[in-house]
């Protein structure tokens, strides 16, 4: 598309030769970027047996291409590489490495063939080819005749493995490793391998051969491949001083699937030719297995692992039976501990005994810590146990205990200038409604009169509600994304502090108006992602570990199929001091566990849950017409709420505005599922997408995700405090939970330990000064992350955006949902009423327009008799996107000067949303549509002037579009009405503010002035229209008088005699009279000459 567009621009513009060359080069580069095709085909190395290809390896040709310049040479050119061959076709189950091949590969042109064997190790003899002139075909084979050979010993020290692939149905494995080096291979039963190496000593040190480690699962029916890896051994020459190698983790891979890690050390030790024993000693074999030497094994010390057993969640059936009596087993480094048995999982999935601990010897190096295994079993009748699932923690260092040092309270310093202070917000300078209003008035007074008219409230009946806060938040986000908004915010705040007001004039007028208006309404935080993505998974109190059962594979969705439940718990790892080792039992019996600090009791908790669903957007279409009829379904435990009756027809971006309230009991009902269905009249409803929220994690989290903190404290109104306890009580509660000193309240100050927060605590209420610490306490809570010893960011008042997914389409979002959840414990005071977020209902309005006159309308018609120009003028009007309700005046016929007189009234009823400034219409998209679709369109009035034609289509003369929120003030006279007033006018009016407006506006066609119209606008509400109705056109009630049009205004088709009188008689009167006189005289003479001979003859005969 870019290239086609560029070619069009070349034809339409005058480019120099240099520009054309540059454009050609850019197009060639773009083609190269989109089509990175290499001219040389890839190289295939195949393993063939009985004319059948068993395995192959594919090497890109660019990796083997030779070049005289080392920088341009392929990375594998002229090197001995290790290739792992794979079977052709799709890999089946049980696939292993088919073969390991060490090859020397080189690819180049014929003229560079002399460099083909330059990098061969020394000692090879080329049969029949001179070493100086090697330009012919390559030799069929190479013969090694080197006299110098080096004897090495490979020692593979395999210490442990972690995170291996589950190869058994139990979700576990019985692994063993197989080590291959050059042409030797052995299993982990023997940890030493000898080899007579034929490579040169320099090549061995610089590029030692790779060690291949394969891991298999040993079953009764055979072995199963789990993964493989390669390692580079550490070369130790005989003349060097021996130093033990370091244990390192090597990642295992089974195809594209990660197979865990293996911890080991590999050393390639040269054996002295003198026969002296220079190799380090190995330990005696234990049962045929040589243990890892003590000088390589990590240093062990005594550790204690404390385990918090909280509960089990979402356990699935095992062997067609539900899990009823589960138990958890924790194992690590030969030690372990068991949880208590849950007697009835359905009644209470939490454990009765919370904490237990066990001591193990672990490496001092955190990187060498062994894995920890979590196993869940279900105890059934007759003492039988069945494996439910397991989970392996590979990084145990994440749970290392970090001691918390509690600072002792210090006396309050006299000088608090350096202490923490709260930053003032605009509300601090405007504590009550009166002062806030005065400030806004002062700000508007600084602006010009024209600006004040455009920024006035568009409706006196527009009451600030929750949706005002929502739109102010969206507007604030959009302003922040604009460049320079930070400077704008600073300048606005400086202005509010009473500094010189001319700073406001240096800011873009539209931005300053919007930003200052947003200060009049509080805002909330709108996240474009899940709340867990912003604050973490809320696992600061307990972690959630997913349990799996069955064999792992590379297929998509295999993890979901193996998922069997979740274990909620926590681990605490810390090193035991030497003095405590003799008192272990006494420590365990005392119950002084470190992990229990700050953990709430896991008894059942009754809570009140309020779910607010604001809107959804970008939903996946579910109907053949590309639309959907979404509605909400909530599931929590056995509770299910279907909001099917309130579905929204034909919408992919519905505004729900729904709130739901129900009671639940943790932990039985802790997983909230929100589903969006598509309503279908015939057949079952289709699931569009769903999302899940762990309410229990939010309830117990230190971030306090139960009810967000608003930006300001208010007792009533749209921003009323909705939590069950006030900010001061909440502050005291958090200080107690985090073992901090109780807050000390003094006038204008709150002190917590050595932290001092200052702010306003005296407010004016009904001409009285009232002392309140709630506002300042809320400011302290908003800065809770600055508190030492457990301080963290508390969740603000927010709206989170959650992605919707389908299980059969993993990873592909089906839309997004804006919502939030409030959780209140039932043992606390009952919170206030839920927030009303029901969608705003549009308000009915009626726009009355009187078309009085037109002037200077262009004349399109020419009289074929007289040649005089005229137009048959009429005016048509409608609201944009509502053409079906268009109205038009009668026709002013035969306008000779472009003047038209109408006295005609248009009446347009419509529904309007003042907050969004849009007109809301509901109409069916087609005849077959059962429901009406709601659309929001801008409030724009369209007026057009036309020339009426009787025998052909009417001629369009001009139009004008007026935005009802702000259109140019009409001119006072037709002479003052100009075309430029639509674009250059700085005095705009809003019909929603002024209600009435009258003046002249221009008609424009193709950028030219084609006429002027005098109109009068009158906006009334639907209630006022019902009380004082008016008729359309000139009808009752309140009829309009007929216009006094000139006598020339008529239709020649309907009034032919009148047309003759005005068009022919007026212009040709003299000629018509002269013609009539001449005709009479001619007739008289004809009669005379016709009757005179007969009369003369009769007179003569009769005498």
What DSSP string runs through 243-302? -PPPPEEEEEEETTEEEEEEEEEEEEEEPPTT----SPP-PPPBTTBPPPPTTTSPPEEE
Round to whole Å and give the CA distance between 356 and 337.
7
CB 653 within 8 A of CB 617: yes
Give the model's pLDDT for residue 380: 92
Q: Is the pLDDT score of 450 beyond 60?
A: no
268-282, 554-568, 944-958, 1000-1014: least confident range: 268-282
Give yes or no for residue 35 having a pLDDT over 90.
no
Q: Can you tell me the distance from the alpha carbon of 539 to that of 700, in angstroms, rounded to the nearest whole number?
A: 9
Beta-ladder partners of 796: 709
- What gap in Å lies between CA 1000 and CA 1003, rounded to an integer? 10
Query: Is the per-residue pLDDT at 835 higher than 50?
Result: yes
> d(Cα 297, Cα 247) in Å, to the nearest integer?
8
C-beta contacts of 107-115 below 8 A and 24+ residues apart: 107/40, 107/43, 107/61, 107/64, 107/65, 107/66, 107/74, 107/77, 108/65, 108/66, 108/67, 108/77, 109/66, 112/66, 112/68, 113/138, 115/66, 115/78
What pLDDT, on the 0 to 100 scale, is given for residue 308? 95
| Residue with the larger pLDDT of the pair 241 and 386 | 386
pLDDT of residue 773: 94
pLDDT at residue 823 tops 80: yes
Task: Identify the band that residue 663 occupies on the pLDDT scale cut at 50, 70 and 90.
Answer: very high
Q: Tell me which range, 419-433, 639-653, 1055-1069, is most confidently predicted by mean pLDDT.
A: 639-653
Q: What percent of the chain has pLDDT over 70?
A: 80
With contact defined as beta carbons under 8 Å apart, do 534 and 807 qualify? no
DSSP-derived 3-state class of residue 483: coil
pLDDT over 90 percentage in the chain: 44
Cα–Cα–Cα angle for 410, 413, 417, nearest 5°? 130
Residue 696 has pLDDT above 90, yes or no: yes
Q: In terms of CATH architecture, what is 150-270?
A: Sandwich (2.60)
- Classify domain 843-1027 at the CATH topology level: Immunoglobulin-like (2.60.40)
pLDDT at 34: 65
* pLDDT exceeds cutoff 70 at 201: no
Query: Do 552 and 562 contact (CB within 8 A), yes or no?
Result: yes
* Higher-confidence position of 659 and 754: 659
Task: List beta partners, residue 152.
Answer: 195, 270
Helices (H) and strands (E) in the chain, counts: 21, 51
Distance between CA atoms of 430 and 313, rounded to whole angstroms?
A: 50
Lowest mean per-residue pLDDT among 516-520, 671-675, 844-848: 516-520
> Helices 774-782 & 727-737, crossing angle to 10 degrees?
40
Taking the domains of the chain in order of start, what are their residue ranges? Answer: 2-34, 43-144, 150-270, 316-405+543-590, 426-526, 605-825, 843-1027, 1055-1103
Task: Give the three-class secondary structure for 1014.
Answer: strand
What count of other Cβ atoms lies within 10 Å of the Cβ of residue 230?
13
Residue 1043, Ramachandran bin (φ over 0: left; ψ between -120 and 50: alpha; else beta): beta
Q: Which residue has the higher pLDDT, 926 or 543?
A: 543
Note the helical H segments in 703-813. Answer: 727-737, 774-782
Residue the block writes with tokens 């009169």: 449
- The enclosing H or E element of 892 equals strand 892-895
Neighbours of 780 (CB within 10 A): 25
pLDDT of 131: 52
- pLDDT score of 442 more than 50: no
pLDDT, residue 7, reads 53
In 3D space, the residue among 681, 774, 767, 682 whose CA is nearest the CA of residue 732 turns out to be 774
Q: What pLDDT does 940 receive? A: 96
**Domain 605-825, CATH:** 2.60.40.150
Is 50 exceeded by the pLDDT of residue 336?
yes
Q: How many CA within 13 A on the CB side of residue 118? A: 14
**DSSP string covering 330-390:** EEETTEEEEPPPPS-TTT--B-SS-EEEEEEEEESSGGGPPPEEEEEEEE-GGG-EEEEEE
Rounded to an integer, what distance in angstroms lies between the CA atom of residue 693 and that of residue 532?
9
Task: Give the mean model confidence (pLDDT) for residues 265-292.
Answer: 77
User: Is the distance from CB of 962 to CB of 983 less than 8 angstroms?
Assistant: no
Inform me whether the pLDDT recorded for 767 exceeds 60: yes
Q: ω into residue 1037 within 30 of 0, thus cis?
A: yes
* pLDDT at position 687 over 50: yes
pLDDT of residue 928: 72
CB 130 within 8 A of CB 152: no
Alpha carbon distance 784, 722 (integer Å):
20
Mean pLDDT lowest among 511-515, 867-871, 936-940? 511-515
pLDDT in tens, 1050-1064: 555 555 655 555 556
* Paired residues of 967 in beta bridges: 989
Give the pairing of strands 1008-1021 and 996-1005.
antiparallel
| 447 pLDDT above the threshold of 70 | no
Task: Count CA atoms within 13 Å of residue 761 on its CB side.
Answer: 18
The lowest-confidence range among 158-172, 341-355, 1000-1014 is 158-172
Mean pLDDT (the chain, rounded): 82
Examine the pLDDT at 125 and tell me if it is beyond 50: yes
Lowest mean pLDDT among 439-453, 713-727, 896-910, 944-958: 439-453
Residue 724: band (very low, low, confident or very high) from pLDDT cuts 50, 70, 90: very high
**Residues 341-399: tens digit of each pLDDT:** 999 999 999 999 999 999 999 999 888 899 999 999 999 988 899 999 999 998 899 99
Q: Taking residues 744-770, report their average pLDDT.
A: 89
CA 935, CA 556: separation in Å to the nearest integer?
40
What is the C-alpha R_g of the chain? 45
Give the tens place of pLDDT for each residue, 769-813: 889 999 999 999 999 998 887 789 999 999 999 999 998 888 788
More confident call, 24 vs 346: 346
CA dihedral 124, 125, 130, 136 (to 10 degrees): -80
Task: Give me the phi and psi of 205, to 5 degrees please.
Answer: -70, -45
262 contacts: CB under 8 Å, gap ≥ 6: 158, 160, 161, 177, 213, 215, 229, 249, 250, 252
User: What dihedral do alpha carbons 716, 720, 726, 727 form, nearest 10°?
Assistant: -120
Q: Are 506 and 491 in contact (CB under 8 A)?
A: yes
Dihedral angle, C-alpha 1032, 1036, 1041, 1047, nearest 10 °:
70
**pLDDT beyond 70 at 494:** no
Segments in 119-240 forming alpha helices (H): 201-206
pLDDT at 900: 92
Residue 295 confidence (pLDDT) above 90:
no
- Which residues on neighbouring strands pair with residue 703, listed in sequence order? none
In DSSP terms, 751 is beta-bridged to 744, 756
Among the listed residues 815, 793, 826, the one whose alpha carbon sits nearest the alpha carbon of residue 613:
815
Domain 316-405+543-590 fold is Immunoglobulin-like (2.60.40)
Beta-bridge partner residues of 658: 613
Residue with tokens 């990187």: 367
Give CA–CA dist 1032/942, Å, rounded: 18
Comparing 182-196, 234-248, 641-655, 815-829, the range with the smallest average pLDDT is 182-196
Interatomic CA distance for residues 490 and 499, integer angstroms: 12
Residue 831 has pLDDT above 80, yes or no: yes
Q: Hey, is 392 helix, strand or coil? A: strand
Among candidate residues 10, 62, 50, 2, the one with its CA nearest the CA of residue 28: 2
pLDDT at 1063: 59
| Rounded Cα distance, 742 and 735, in Å | 6
Q: Which of 111-115, 662-666, 740-744 has the lowest mean pLDDT?
A: 111-115
d(Cα 864, Cα 1064) in Å, to the nearest integer?
12
Say what the pLDDT of residue 511 is. 41
Give the closest residue to 870 by CA, choosing from 1014, 1050, 1058, 1068.
Answer: 1050
Higher pLDDT, 333 or 458: 333
Residues forming a β-bridge with 43: 59
For the segment 1011-1020, the average pLDDT, to the nearest whole number, is 96
User: Is the pLDDT score of 85 beyond 70?
Assistant: yes
At residue 589, does pLDDT exceed 50? no
Residue tagged 């009258």 (tokens): 998
């Amino acid at each position: 598309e870019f290239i086609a567009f560029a070619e069009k621009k070349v034809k339409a513009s005058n480019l120099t030769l240099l520009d054309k060359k540059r454009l050609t080069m850019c197009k060639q580069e773009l083609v190269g970027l989109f089509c990175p095709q290499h001219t040389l085909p890839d190289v295939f190395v195949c393993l063939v047996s009985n004319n059948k290809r068993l395995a192959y390896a594919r090497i890109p040709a660019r990796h083997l291409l030779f070049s005289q310049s080392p920088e341009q040479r392929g990375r594998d050119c002229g090197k001995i590489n290790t290739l792992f061959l794979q079977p052709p076709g799709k890999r089946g189950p049980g696939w292993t490495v088919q073969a390991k091949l060490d090859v020397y590969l080189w690819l180049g042109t014929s003229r560079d063939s002399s460099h083909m064997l330059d990098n061969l190790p020394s000692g090879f003899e080329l049969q029949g080819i001179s070493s100086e002139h090697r330009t012919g075909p390559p030799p069929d084979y190479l013969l090694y005749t080197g006299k110098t050979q080096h004897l090495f010993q490979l020692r593979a020290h395999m210490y442990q493995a972690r995170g291996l692939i589950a190869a058994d149905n139990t979700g576990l494995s019985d692994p063993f490793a197989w080590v291959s080096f050059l042409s030797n291979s052995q299993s982990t039963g023997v940890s030493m391998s000898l080899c007579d190496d034929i490579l040169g000593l320099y090549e061995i040190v610089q590029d030692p051969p790779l060690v291949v480690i394969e891991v298999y699962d040993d079953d009764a029916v055979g072995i199963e491949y789990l993964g493989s890896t390669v390692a580079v051994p550490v070369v130790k020459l005989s003349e060097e001083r021996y130093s033990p190698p370091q244990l390192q983790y090597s990642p295992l891979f089974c195809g594209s699937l990660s197979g865990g890690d293996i911890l080991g050390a590999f050393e390639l030790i040269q054996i002295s030719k003198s026969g002296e024993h220079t190799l380090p000693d190995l330990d005696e074999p234990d049962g045929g297995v040589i243990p890892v030497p003590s000088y390589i094994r990590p240093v062990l010390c005594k550790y204690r692992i404390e385990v918090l057993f909280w509960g089990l969640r979402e356990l699935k059936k095992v062997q067609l039976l539900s899990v009823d009596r589960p138990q958890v087993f924790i194992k690590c480094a030969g030690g372990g501990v068991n949880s208590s048995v849950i007697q009835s999982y359905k009644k209470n999935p939490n454990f009765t005994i919370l904490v237990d601990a066990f001591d193990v010897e672990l490496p001092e190096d955190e990187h060498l810590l062994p894995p920890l295994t979590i196993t869940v079993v279900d105890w059934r009748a007759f003492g039988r146990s069945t494996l439910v699932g397991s989970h392996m923690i590979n990084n145990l260092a994440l749970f290392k205990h970090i001691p918390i040092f509690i600072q002792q309270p210090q006396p309050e310093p006299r000088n608090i200038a350096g202490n923490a202070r709260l930053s003032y917000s605009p509300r601090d300078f405007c504590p009550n409604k009166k002062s806030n209003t005065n400030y806004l008035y002062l700000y508007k007074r600084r602006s010009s009169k024209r600006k004040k008219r455009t920024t006035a409230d568009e409706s006196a009946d527009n009451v600030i509600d929750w949706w005002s806060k929502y739109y102010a938040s969206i507007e604030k986000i959009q302003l922040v994304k604009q460049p320079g908004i930070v400077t704008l915010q600073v300048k606005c705040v400086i202005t509010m502090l009473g500094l010189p007001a001319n700073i406001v004039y240096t800011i873009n007028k539209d931005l300053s108006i919007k930003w200052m208006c947003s200060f009049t309404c509080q805002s909330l935080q709108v996240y474009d992602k899940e709340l867990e993505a912003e604050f973490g998974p809320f696992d600061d109190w307990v972690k959630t570990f997913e349990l799996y059962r069955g064999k792992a594979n590379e297929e998509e969705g295999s993890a979901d199929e193996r998922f069997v439940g979740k274990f909620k718990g926590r681990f605490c790892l810390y090193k035991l001091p030497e003095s405590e080792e003799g008192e272990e039992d006494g420590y365990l019996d005392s119950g002084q566990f470190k992990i229990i600090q700050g953990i709430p009791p896991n008894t059942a908790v009754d809570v009140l849950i309020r779910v607010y669903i604001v809107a959804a957007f970008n939903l996946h279409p579910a109907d053949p017409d590309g639309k959907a009829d979404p509605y909400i379904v909530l599931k929590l435990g056995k509770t299910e709420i279907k909001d099917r009756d309130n579905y929204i027809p034909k919408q992919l971006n519905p505004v729900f505005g729904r709130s739901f309230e129900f009671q639940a009991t943790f932990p039985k009902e802790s997983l909230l599922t929100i589903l969006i269905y598509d309503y279908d009249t015939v057949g079952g409803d289709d699931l569009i997408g769903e999302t899940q929220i762990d309410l229990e994690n939010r309830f117990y989290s230190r971030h306090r995700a139960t009810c967000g903190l608003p930006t300001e404290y208010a007792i009533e109104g749209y921003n009323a405090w909705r939590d069950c306890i006030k900010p001061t009580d909440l502050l005291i509660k958090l200080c107690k939970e985090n073992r901090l000193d109780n807050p000390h309240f003094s006038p204008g100050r709150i002190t917590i330990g050595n932290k001092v927060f200052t702010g306003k605590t005296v407010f004016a209420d009904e001409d009285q000064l009232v002392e309140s610490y709630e506002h300042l306490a809320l400011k302290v809570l908003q800065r809770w992350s600055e508190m030492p010893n457990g301080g963290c960011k508390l969740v603000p008042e927010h709206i989170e955006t959650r992605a919707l997914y389908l299980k059969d389409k993993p990873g592909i979002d089906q839309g997004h949902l804006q919502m939030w959840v409030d959780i209140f414990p039932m043992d606390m005071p009952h919170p206030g009423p839920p927030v009303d977020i029901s969608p705003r209902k549009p308000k009915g309005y009626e726009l009355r327009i009187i078309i009085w006159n037109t002037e200077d309308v262009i004349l399109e018609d020419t009289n074929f008799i007289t040649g005089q120009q005229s137009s048959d003028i009429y005016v048509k009007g409608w609201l944009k996107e509502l053409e079906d309700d268009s109205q038009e005046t009668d026709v002013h016929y035969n306008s000779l000067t472009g003047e038209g007189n109408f006295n005609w009234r248009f009446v347009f009823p419509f529904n309007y949303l003042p907050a969004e400034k849009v007109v809301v219409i509901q109409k069916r998209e087609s005849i077959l549509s059962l429901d009406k679709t709601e659309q929001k369109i801008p409030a724009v009035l369209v007026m057009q002037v036309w020339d009426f034609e009787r025998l052909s289509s009417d001629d369009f003369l001009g139009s004008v579009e007026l935005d009802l929120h702000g259109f140019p003030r009409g001119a006072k006279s037709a002479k003052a009405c100009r075309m430029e007033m639509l674009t250059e006018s700085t005095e705009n009016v809003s019909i929603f503010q002024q209600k009435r407006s009258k003046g002249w506006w221009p008609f424009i066609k193709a950028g030219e002035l084609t006429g002027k119209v005098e109109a009068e606008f009158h906006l009334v509400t639907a209630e006022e229209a019902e009380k004082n109705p008016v008729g359309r056109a000139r009808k009752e009630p309140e009829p309009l008088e007929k216009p006094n049009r000139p006598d020339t205004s008529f239709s020649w088709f309907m009034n032919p005699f009148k047309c003759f009188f005005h068009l022919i008689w007026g212009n040709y009167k003299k000629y018509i009279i002269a013609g009539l006189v001449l005709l009479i005289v001619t007739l008289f003479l004809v009669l005379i000459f016709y009757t005179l001979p007969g009369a003369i003859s009769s007179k003569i005969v009769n005498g």
